[in-house]
Amino acid sequence: MRRGSPPRRGFSSGLLLALAAFVTGCGGGAAHITSSATSPPPPGNNVQPIVVGAGPANNYANGVFTSLTVCVPSSSTCETIDGILVDTGSYGLRLLSSAGGGALTVGLPQQKGPSGNPVGECAAFVSGYTWGPVATADISIAGEKASDIPVQVIDPTFAKVPSACANTGVPEDDSLQTLGANGILGVGPYISDCGRACEQNASNNPGLYYECSSASCQVISQSSARQVQNPVASFATDNNGVVVELPALTDAVSTLAGSLIFGIGTQSNNGLGATTLFPLDSSGEFSTSYKGQSYPAFVDSGSNGIFFLDVAASGLTVCSDNSGFYCPVSQANFTAQTSSGGATETVNFSVASADELFSTSGNFVFPTLAGPNPGTFDWGLPFFFGRQIFTAIESRSTPKGSGPFWAY
């Protein structure tokens, strides 16, 4: 299965950025020797350790997780939560409440709508949606802090799910087993999770935000400042983007350790160096060329595989028991070119049978995991192995220009 975050750029974009995918029942099969890999973290108060592995529900393939501290604003009522999925393809922090089996137990103040009732959000993804109230919190990660920002609390006991949200055609991800994480840290290239679209009224509004009374929930317009926010954009410093750094990997392992570095060109450990910049177009994408044809593409640590093209274009077969992944008879090797703003880079990658990968006992990190995504390239987590991937936030300056862009 694979999830993807909601359309983000309002009128100008129909982009569906892929978030995480998780796999249940990865264990079993023949005995297999497992190992872990690690990359020494660079020094600095802007560096947060991350780990690719099975996650808190022990059911994730290629999920990259970290921890953070959540506090009631301007108070000492806090708790540190681990098992938070790091996602460069979405925007804002979503925390699974204890009612769903998550780790959040601190009672955060809920945001109120125009009539004084709680505000809820429906964040619809490719294979699931999250529902719950919008609250405010202070968030601390490494040596950074975002104060009094809107977050979503994923809570199955919140108001009845609106029909427009429940009828998206995907299930509700409101438990630890279905979400596979204690929360999602969206650190993508935008500040708020919906932008101008959710500021509109009536039919122009995509319906992410609701005001909920005891009787029902109604769609409301929500200013960008009150929408769920990318915490990095609210840091006092190092607030123009992030760097995800993971070591190179050729074979499946049990865990893989790396670093999430805050800021771009703000300290000695996050300089762009000789990286190539790929500016995002109005849809929040860049291009990938394969066999002479150009496709829209994006880079996303929250996608657990490289999801690209379809059976006809890729020449691969899908798994008989899960059409969301490719299962070639033998490992297949590919070459594509990513491009934007005159810059081009060649990307070599390989695809192995997902069925074979998942049948190995104890491994949850797979550099050759991939699946179909018709007409699009989703450069998911395997693309990050062995690279420094920079994600620059919209309108924020860096030594090589303002975001939004990706660089590697």
Residues 6+ apart with CB under 8 A from 44: 261, 267, 268, 269, 270
Q: Is residue 242 part of a domain?
A: no
Residues 189 and 274 in one domain: no
Cα separation, 321 vs 356, whole angstroms:
12
Q: For residue 339, with 0-12 CB atoms within 10 Å meaning exposed, 13-18 middle and 19 or more buried, which class applies?
A: middle
Cα separation, 261 vs 238, whole angstroms:
9
Q: What's the pLDDT at 125?
A: 75
Beta strands in 241-314 (DSSP E): 241-245, 255-262, 277-279, 286-290, 293-299, 306-309
Beta strands in 88-175 (DSSP E): 91-96, 119-124, 129-141, 144-154
Residues 6+ apart with CB under 8 A from 312: none
Q: What's the pLDDT at 14?
A: 25
Cα separation, 246 vs 386, whole angstroms:
6
Domain containing residue 321: CATH number: 2.40.70
Residues 72 and 192 in one domain: yes
- For residue 98, give the DSSP letter: G
Q: For residue 368, with 0-12 CB atoms within 10 Å meaning exposed, 13-18 middle and 19 or more buried, which class applies?
A: buried
- For residue 250, give the DSSP letter: S
Residues 229 and 273 in one domain: no
Q: Is residue 262 part of a domain?
A: no
- If one counts every other C-beta atom within 10 angstroms of the C-beta of residue 14, the result is 9
Residues 191 and 309 in one domain: no
Residues 42 and 160 in one domain: yes
3-state secondary structure at position 344: strand
Residues 151 and 205 in one domain: yes
Q: What's the pLDDT at 76?
A: 97
Q: Is residue 5 part of a domain?
A: no
Residues 226 and 325 in one domain: no
Q: Which domain does 46 fall in, by range? A: 10-234
Q: Is residue 241 part of a domain?
A: no
Q: What's the pLDDT at 40?
A: 66
Furthest-apart CA atoms within the chain: distance in Å? 60
Each residue's pLDDT, cut to its tens digit, for the chain (408 residues) gives 333 333 332 222 222 223 333 343 332 222 233 456 666 677 789 999 999 999 999 999 999 999 999 999 999 999 999 999 999 999 999 999 999 999 999 999 999 999 999 999 999 877 789 999 999 999 999 999 999 999 999 999 999 999 999 998 889 999 999 999 999 999 999 999 999 999 999 888 999 999 999 999 999 999 999 999 999 999 999 999 999 999 999 999 999 999 999 999 999 999 999 999 999 999 999 999 999 999 999 999 999 999 999 999 999 999 999 999 999 999 999 999 999 999 999 999 999 999 999 998 899 999 999 999 999 999 999 999 999 999 999 999 999 999 999 999
Residues 142 and 217 in one domain: yes
Q: Per the structure, how many domains does the chain have?
A: 2
- If one counts every other C-beta atom within 10 angstroms of the C-beta of residue 47, the result is 22
Q: What's the pLDDT at 345?
A: 98
Its pTM stands at 0.92
Q: What's the pLDDT at 39?
A: 63
Q: What's the pLDDT at 222?
A: 98
